[in-house]
Chains A and B, each alone.
Chain A
Amino acid sequence: MDLSAINPLVLIASLMVAATPILLAAIGELVVEKAGVLNLGVEGMMITGAICGFAIAVETGSPALGFIASMIGAALLSLIFGFLTQVLMSNQVATGLALTLFGLGLSALLGQGYVGIKPPATHDINFGFLTEIPVIGPILFTHDIIVYASLALIAATWAVLKFTRVGLILRAVGENHDAAHALGYKVVRIRILAIMFGGACAGLGGAYLSLVRVPQWTEGMTAGAGWIALALVVFASWKPLRVLVGAYLFGGITVLQLNLQAAGVAIPVEYLSMSPYLITILVLVIMSSDRSRAALNAPASLGRVFHASS
């Protein structure tokens, strides 16, 4: 066992990469839930994004086009969910679960010809001399654009929800859709837009897995990341900054346990593999343990079907 082989700087840098997929999926789902919709199809949207992005990137040779395609693909998939739940008023939980199963199946079908192929590389942004700064350089300035985009997205979501009228209307729709309707806001339209935003984010997260983090295509490669993203949103009490903390915690432990496995620590591999899930949930449960305060933040109309007639 040789723990000295673990370099903390590399560890932190790689945890950011490891956390990015669930961070993206979670921030998208946060917006969806803030609008009062519970979309359990995150996993399905992620994996659909993963294969859409992978296929387009391989065919065109451009990862950028791949990322865009992943967002479009997953957003289209989420639109099915939006149509079923918002227009046809189907049950959100059942529809979300169906969406996950559908997405897993669809991605396996689309990915038939892409198993074992290497995608075009996504390059890190060149910050020049900034990379040379000790400690901060390797941690902050050695990443690709999606990592920075995900951080910017967290900050933007936080600011939009807190300071802008759009954010206020979104929260209002999630808080009390009857009241929002009575004041003349288009509840269904706002929710469908939120659902598509959530889909695009989840798809981007999925493509980050298949194009950067792994990088190759295998069936079912998201391996529950979508579910972790869902849990993250709830236990982060619907707060963007806590989502960031939770996602990086999850990413950190994932990377750490891989390093520990490599270092040959005398803990069975199974325990190490489950540790990221276990510890992330545990920490977030403790963080949100004050139930009455967590309930204050929960969108009151979450998961409820909206009838415009009442």
Chain B
Amino acid sequence: MTSLLTLEGLTKAYPGVVANDDVSFEIAPGEVHALLGENGAGKSTLVKMIYGLVKPDKGKMTLNGAVFEPAEPRAARAAGVAMVFQHFSLFDALSVAENIALGMENPPKMGDLAARIREVSETYGLPLDPDKVVGDLSAGERQRVEIIRCLLQDPRLLIMDEPTSVLTPQEVEILFKTLRQLSAEGTAILYISHKLEEIRSLCDGATVLRLGKVVGRCNPREKSASELAEMMVGSALTPPSRASTDFGEVVLEVSNLSIPSPNPFGTSLKDVSLTLRAGEILGIGGVAGNGQDELLAALSGEALAPRGAVTLHGNDISQMGPTPRRHIAVLAAPEERLGHAAAPDMSLIENAFLTGADREDLHKNGFVKWPAARAFAEKIIEGFDVRTPGPHNAARSLSGGNLQKFVIGREVLQRPEVLVVNQPTWGVDASAAAAIRQSIIDLAQNGTAVIVISQDLDELMEISDNFAALNEGRLSRPRPAQGLSIEEIGLMMGGAHDMEVAHVEA
């Protein structure tokens, strides 16, 4: 078997970190090759080198027997390498056709392009209207835009960076059919993910990266998920555990909540109802952009709800802003760490003060009690194993996982009665994620009512008592998480969003 792409000894160092250290592997035509590793293992840097966005310090790439040194993405595309990005590569205000034209070297006239988009989307079962504005599309549809953008260039190597993080299980199934068909046509696929089951069902070969180094190669079909996880993490993981599930009385009640989204491309909440009892963890799943941010805003008080829509112990709190809600122990940790949950350029002490001021008694007569704020920040750092030189460091200087531990710890330590968290372990490595999940479970154990909004279904199944899904701003009826099948969850999340299976015979 001759290889399509060969990497030999690729090395890339950034100040302070070696992102890739002597990485070598090869991909054959038609092979689906997995690049497996935790966040920060160097997967993204590696594919950026292949796509010409980053220049390697050392090492050699060969494509089809010729030396391959793309100076820019344009050169990589010309050589037949296409990439579907995890985020950041679509333009909300532009139409589907315009977005696709931007990713092509010599796009045809807009009219012809629209026809070709329709044709390709038919062939691969990815229906798409070329005239629609991308900002109005669902996450799954946006991904179709990216995939079709790649397919229109007849790539020989398709790189997919975490493609399924935004899809429902049904949509994942259809995506896999498309990918298998492409691979049967001879297109090689480099598939990046940390979802082990997916890799086992899709990929022919896998290269495992840890801290920038290749730590293993295997045929994922011959390994179990836990063996793969161990290769990836380097040690066995203990899943979070939970002693009992006794719920108290109803704490938080949301009834028929409808709020228009402040963002032109956001999703309005439509008739959302839920009840939350003390000690209960309610997991809310759903594809990103289906109202998660809006729901968090309505519960945290950032967006005021119509009177009577949100009640705590029967008292109406709909019209309270975030600070009064914090005062009565309704706390929240939003998804975006830098800029929403924490102020990036302020120190950890200041960030601890910003949400803890009231409940931790960190101010008096309008003056900040700095020693107390510092002590609170240190308590979080110690209690949640936040790796940082000290509390005076800026929030921006922490790695994603450490900052997330800080953000969650800050709320947990304020003894909340209701805690709402959005994407608590997004972009966090496995051991930190396990610690965060355990702290959420412990909190519920002590009688706090918790809502966990997440796109990671495995996480939700692991920690939640009840599960509901957001789909286009509507919340499904919560059901006990125990015993829910993945198909049922997928249907709750809105099923396949009218995708079809590929029409071409492989």
On A, residues with C-beta under 8 Å from B are 165, 168-169, 171-172, 175-176, 178-180, 182-185, 292-293, 295-297, 299-300
Report whether B264 and A179 are in contact in the complex, using a CB–CB cutoff of 8 Å: no
Is B73 part of the binding interface, using a Cβ–Cβ cutoff of 8 Å? yes
Report whether B52 and A179 are in contact in the complex, using a CB–CB cutoff of 8 Å: no
Interface residues of B in 94-129 (CB under 8 A from A): 94, 98, 101-103, 107
In the complex, which residues of chain A have a beta carbon less than 8 angstroms from the beta carbon of B93? Answer: 171, 175, 296-297, 299-300
Report whether B91 and A175 are in contact in the complex, using a CB–CB cutoff of 8 Å: yes
In the complex, A300→B264 CA distance in Å?
Answer: 11
In the complex, which residues of chain B have a beta carbon less than 8 angstroms from the beta carbon of A165? Answer: 101, 107
Report whether A183 and B94 are in contact in the complex, using a CB–CB cutoff of 8 Å: no
- Say which residue of B74, B85, B264 sits within 8 Å of A292 (CB atoms): B264
Smallest CB separation, A118 vs chain B (Å)? 49
Report whether A172 and B91 are in contact in the complex, using a CB–CB cutoff of 8 Å: yes
Report whether B264 and A184 are in contact in the complex, using a CB–CB cutoff of 8 Å: no
In the complex, which residues of chain B have a beta carbon less than 8 angstroms from the beta carbon of A175? Answer: 91-94
In the complex, which residues of chain A have a beta carbon less than 8 angstroms from the beta carbon of B85? Answer: 182
Report whether A182 and B91 are in contact in the complex, using a CB–CB cutoff of 8 Å: no
Report whether A179 and B101 are in contact in the complex, using a CB–CB cutoff of 8 Å: no
In the complex, which residues of chain B have a beta carbon less than 8 angstroms from the beta carbon of A168? Answer: 94, 98, 101-102
In the complex, which residues of chain A have a beta carbon less than 8 angstroms from the beta carbon of B91? Answer: 171-172, 175-176, 179-180
Report whether B74 and A182 are in contact in the complex, using a CB–CB cutoff of 8 Å: no
Smallest CB separation, B105 vs chain A (Å)? 10
Smallest CB separation, B78 vs chain A (Å)? 11
Give B133's nearest chain A residue, CB to CB: A296
Report whether A179 and B72 are in contact in the complex, using a CB–CB cutoff of 8 Å: no
Report whether A182 and B89 are in contact in the complex, using a CB–CB cutoff of 8 Å: yes
A-B contact sample (10 more), CB < 8 A, given A171-B94, A179-B90, A184-B73: A168-B98, A168-B102, A176-B88, A178-B88, A182-B53, A182-B85, A182-B88, A184-B74, A299-B93, A300-B92
Report whether B52 and A184 are in contact in the complex, using a CB–CB cutoff of 8 Å: yes
B39-53 interface bits toward A, Cβ cutoff 8 Å, 1 = contact, 0 = none: 000000000000011
Give A309's nearest chain B residue, CB to CB: B14
Count CB-based A-B contacts (< 8 Å): 57
Smallest CB separation, A35 vs chain B (Å)? 13
In the complex, which residues of chain A have a beta carbon less than 8 angstroms from the beta carbon of B101? Answer: 165, 168
Report whether B102 and A183 are in contact in the complex, using a CB–CB cutoff of 8 Å: yes
In the complex, A172→B90 CA distance in Å?
Answer: 9
In the complex, which residues of chain B have a beta carbon less than 8 angstroms from the beta carbon of A180? Answer: 91, 102
- Say which residue of A171, A182, A292, A300 sits within 8 Å of B73 (CB atoms): A182
In the complex, A179→B88 CA distance in Å?
Answer: 5
Report whether B264 and A183 are in contact in the complex, using a CB–CB cutoff of 8 Å: no
Smallest CB separation, A111 vs chain B (Å)? 42
In the complex, A183→B149 CA distance in Å?
Answer: 11
Q: Which 10 A-B pairs have the closest CB atoms?
A: A184-B73, A175-B91, A178-B88, A179-B89, A184-B74, A292-B264, A182-B89, A184-B72, A295-B264, A176-B91
Provide a sorted-by-A list of 6 A–B residue pairs whose CB atoms are within 8 angstroms.
A176-B88, A179-B88, A182-B53, A182-B88, A184-B52, A297-B93
Smallest CB separation, A182 vs chain B (Å)? 5
Give B74's nearest chain A residue, CB to CB: A184
In the complex, A296→B91 CA distance in Å?
Answer: 12
In the complex, which residues of chain A have a beta carbon less than 8 angstroms from the beta carbon of B73? Answer: 182-184
Smallest CB separation, A165 vs chain B (Å)? 7
Q: Indicate the member of A171, A175, A185, A295 with the most B CB atoms within 10 Å.
A: A175
In the complex, A169→B104 CA distance in Å?
Answer: 12
Report whether B89 and A183 are in contact in the complex, using a CB–CB cutoff of 8 Å: yes
Smallest CB separation, B502 vs chain A (Å)? 26
Report whether A296 and B264 are in contact in the complex, using a CB–CB cutoff of 8 Å: yes
In the complex, which residues of chain B have a beta carbon less than 8 angstroms from the beta carbon of A178? Answer: 88-89
In the complex, which residues of chain B have a beta carbon less than 8 angstroms from the beta carbon of A183? Answer: 73, 89, 102-103
Smallest CB separation, B150 vs chain A (Å)? 12
Q: Indicate the member of A168, A176, A184, A293 with the most B CB atoms within 10 Å.
A: A184
In the complex, A50→B53 CA distance in Å?
Answer: 43
In the complex, A165→B90 CA distance in Å?
Answer: 16
In the complex, A178→B90 CA distance in Å?
Answer: 9
